[in-house]
Each structure stands twice: as C-alpha cells, then as structure tokens.
A and B are shown apart, each in its own frame.
Chain A
Amino acid sequence: MTNHKVVGVLALQGGVVEHLSHFKRAVESSPEQYGPFQLEFIEVKTSDQLHRCNALVIPGGESTAISLIAERTGLLAHLYEFVADESKVIWGTCAGLILLAKQVENAKRDQKILGGMDIKVIRNAFGRQLDSFESNLDFSSFIPNLKDFPTIFIRAPIVDQILNENPRLNENLTHPPVPMAKLTDGITVRSENPYSNSSPVEILHRLENGFIVAVKQGNKLGTSFHPELSENFLFHKWFLDTFVLAD
C-alpha cells in the first residue's frame, strides 16, 4: 500500500478548501500520471486525522489564532511530533511558514511555533493589510517552466535569517529594512520543539529587493505567499510530485 498517500490540510482556521481543491485539480489534470497512486486529501482538526497523514499543509490564516487553537484543543504536542518525524512532508504557506519556523520576530508572547525549519521569520513583514499586494513571479529556477506565476502576499512574513551553522548562507542575506507593522509588544518567539532538522536550508526564491519568500529544508517547504489563491494549480502539482510522491 505504499502507493496510498494521505495529504492533510490543517483546518483549525484559515484558507483550507482552496488547498484541497488545488490538489484535486492537479490530480484530475494528469490521470495517467496519478493513476498508479491512491491519493487522499483530508481536513485535519484532530490527532487521529493527523496520524493518518503522510503530508501536511499548514494554510494561511492568523498564525496566533491557529497556534492558540492547536494548543487549547490538544493538537500542539501531536504537531510537534509530526514535524519531528522526517518521514513526513510539511508545507506551510504564509501563517504556515510562521508556524514552521524555529524563531519568529514581531510575534505575540503566547504564540507557539513548531520549529521544523532552521529559519527566523519576520511576521507582518510588509506592513499592515493595506500593504498586501499581488505579483507575478518567475519560479522556473525550481519549478520547470513556471515563469509567470501570480502570487498574492497578504500581511505576509519573510525569511530573515537562516539559523543553521553554515555561515556562508547568511552572507548574502542582506535585504532592505523591513517595513513591518511593528508591534508595541512584539517579541522574538522561539520554538519549544526540541527537534532539529538534519538537512540544510535551501533558498528557493527571493524577491528583487532580496526578501526571501520560499525555502526548503529536507522535506519541509515554506512559502510567504499563497499559491492556493491563484487560479493556477501547478505549484501544488510540483509539491505533490517533488515532495509527496518523491520516493
């Protein structure tokens, strides 16, 4: 039954159905390619549902709300374990990228993060809601032929720093000052998950001004933006092909 894969979308709060429908459209687009596989896409609200998953998507939403709900409903400990299991695949978009990080700047004190990737993320890095924007980006360096992909940044976070030991990686990480909506009580929150990712961080995409908006570490993927809000499902198809069905 190794051809049976369950992909879950964390459904505590946020844009869940868009991810599910993009995955379904991707699978329907290539019946021949996906025919040999039995792919199941489910919403994840409970630990039972989480334990069924081979891969998990943490969607956009409010990172504070998602983490508080996860903690109060007893799911947080299970998410820590899921993140620490390197046979599992995880992708975080926007709020999900915040949740995947080891450190978050401009965070709320009681916000919890899962610590799956050795990155420091700045929350609300582009400012308030009015500073949200849409941009067509060229992802062809890591997704073949995906050149003009419409991406939406909504109160988006960025990756500010790579936290693992390779100092060379941080040399080129200079970017202009971040116009973040600075919180009066914004602090840096560190993950309480003892897990340490065994793979190096790879930068997949930077904006022209140097902001890092897509990163990969082992089988964990983080994006600042929302491929699920574009009409195009090719980003999701790439995730299925290179992460979920990789082995």
Chain B
Amino acid sequence: MTSTYNINKNLAQMLKGGVIMDVTNVEEAVIAEKAGAVAVMALEKIPSDMRKSGQVCRMSDPKMIKDIMNAVSIPVMAKVRIGHLIEAQLLESLGIDYIDESEVLTPADRTYHIDKTHYKVPFVCGAKDLGEALRRINEGAAMLRTKGEAGTGDISEAVKHIRQIKGEIDLILANKTDTKFLTDKAIEYRIPVKLLEDLIEKNGKFPVVNFAAGGVATPADAALCMKLGMEGVFVGSGIFRSSNPEKLAKAIVNATTHYDDPAKVLEYSTDLGEMMPGVSVSGLQLQDRLSTRGW
C-alpha cells in the first residue's frame, strides 16, 4: 500500500473512542468542539431535514464548510454524493480533513463509488454488510462507518449493520482454511481474495477504523455501539434536534469514553431534556431508506 494510504488510515486511528458531530453552521461547530467532539461533519442540512425535504441533496456550499474549518481546531469532514468524483476533488482542493462519500446525499453514480486511491485526502464510507465494507476498503477508504438509518434517531438499523458485519466476519474466520469458500466469498463480495486473507490474518479486524453511524440519539445509544465493538460514533441529527444540544453533546462524549461503566452512563443520561423526536425505521418504506443506497 502507498504511504498516503498508510498515513490516512493511521490518522483515522486518532479519532478512536471519539464522537463526530454533524453541524450546519459555525455556532454548532463551536458547541461541538467545546463538548469534546474529535471532529465535525459540516453540512447544510442535517439528515432528518434532508429526509423530510424529498429534494436532491448535494455537497454543501464550500463557503459554509470553509467558515467551519476556520472556526474550529479539530478535523472537519464534509459529504460528497456517492460516485461524485468532482465534488470530492473540490473538497480536497478546499483542504478538507476527511471526505464522507455518503448515502445521505442523493447518489451521483448508480454503479461505481469513487476510486479513493486517487486522492490524498482520507475518505470515510458507510457499509451495511461485509461485502460493502471490503469493497470500500479495496477502493481506498481510510475509515468505515455503519450506515444505520440517518436522520431517524432509531438505533436499530446501525445495530443491525454492526451485527451483520460481525456475523459475516465470524463466518469467514470459521472457514479460514477452506480455499474454495474464500474464493467464492471474494467473488460474491466483488473483491480480491487477498482482502479476506488479510482479514483472517488480523483475526477479523479491519485495517481501518470502524465507527457507528445512523440513528445514534442518546448517550445510551452511543454506549451500546461501543459495547458492540465499534471504535467511535457519529451523531447526526440527534444533538441539534434535542432541546439542550450543549448538554446532550457533552453527555454523548462522556458516555462514549465510559461506555463500560453503567453508573457513569446513568449519570450522563439523566436530565437531558427532550431528545430528538425521531421516526421508527420499521415504519419506513424500503425506497425511503437511505441505507439501501450504495453498491
């Protein structure tokens, strides 16, 4: 692997145990940084509003992204549409710290994701199963996240993706000496078999960090994802759609660090005001589910 890729996957290691927050303006970005976020995701509309709008959602205006980059000292991420390599070039020119090739925006390419090996900037990508995760790694993603179901405040889809990927990794490990099984899986996943061999060599651990995303709304949600083996969390609509964003943001950061200590998570979960109202994933039609985007 190239030196750039090596640096990129290592710099994502520095985000571990941390919380990355969606912010739509400088004020929110400052609240996120003060709460102890390890990075912010700059976007014009949070996923729950995009979901309601029914409109085409694109990369945010570079001006608002730049304003946020100037306002905080932590890394700034921004989203591009799946397969939109020009939007990615624009963000790279802007000097963004990470690009999220995101299913939350309306996809630009219905067949291909961006070839991320052509960029110096690190990419984070969503995955709902092992095939997607390994395809994104093969394309050069420096960081993974579950897709979950963004903008719902319903954690069930993220949990499903965590469990799905873990189950599929276990299956690979259980069949690690079966060459035919691995070859067939590689074909099914559309990846070189080498990626499965690497996964086996690392005892099921990805070469990049994997965060939970999509539906994290409370300190307990964040702690649940950490307990299930995630290395950090993204919080989208949850924080700034609650009645006390500042307090909730801090509480989610604290709970992510102390996820294994119920007494502490209890303390952080207490008296936070109204959470985001949310929508249940089971009530969504399949075509309305953002997690089905990506190939």
Contacts and interface: CB of A to CB of B under 8 A. Distances in A.
A60 B264 CA distance: 24
A64 B69 CA distance: 16
A211 to B, nearest CB: 18
A61 B18 contact: yes
Given A13-B18, A60-B14, A152 B74 contact: no
A130 B97 CA distance: 6
Contacts of A45: 257-258, 261
A230 B240 CA distance: 39
Nearest to A94: B14
Contacts of B95: 128, 130
Interface stretch (A26-34, A68-76, A236-244): A68-76
- Identify the interface centre among A11, A18, A62: most chain B CB within 10 Å of its CB: A62
Contact of A152 (B10, B17, B121): B10
Contacts, number: 111
B14 A12 contact: no
A68 B35 contact: yes
B83 interface: no
Nearest to B75: A129
Given A13-B16, A128-B95, A129-B97, A69 B11 contact: no
A122 B120 CA distance: 24
Interface in B211-250: 250
A73 B264 CA distance: 9
B72 to A, nearest CB: 8
A22 interface: no
* Majority-rule SS of A interface residues: loop
A15 B39 CA distance: 15
B73 interface: yes
Contact of B7 (A133, A181, A183): A133
Contact of B16 (A16, A94, A129, A226): A16
B10 A64 contact: no
B98 interface: yes
Contacts of B18: 13-14, 61-62, 65
Contacts of B250: 72
Contact of A108 (B13, B14, B73, B121): B73
A132 B121 CA distance: 10
A65 B73 contact: no
Counting chain A residues whose Cβ lies within 8 A of the other chain, the interface size class is 35 or more
Nearest to B13: A15
B263 to A, nearest CB: 11
Contacts of B16: 13-16, 61
A184 B3 contact: no
B13 A134 contact: no
A188 to B, nearest CB: 14
A64 B264 contact: no
A64 B73 contact: yes
A57 to B, nearest CB: 14
B71 interface: yes
A69 B253 contact: yes
Contact of A13 (B6, B10, B38): B38
Given A12-B257, A61-B16, A123-B73, A226 B10 contact: yes
Interface in B147-162: none
B37 interface: yes
Nearest to A152: B10
B3 A65 contact: no
B17 A13 contact: yes
B119 to A, nearest CB: 10
A124 B69 CA distance: 13
A14 B38 CA distance: 9
B62 interface: no
A12 B18 CA distance: 9
Contacts of A130: 92, 95, 97, 120-121
20 contacts: A12-B257, A13-B36, A14-B14, A14-B16, A15-B14, A45-B261, A60-B14, A61-B16, A65-B18, A65-B37, A65-B253, A72-B250, A128-B95, A128-B97, A130-B120, A132-B11, A134-B3, A152-B6, A155-B75, A183-B73
A197 interface: no
A169 to B, nearest CB: 29
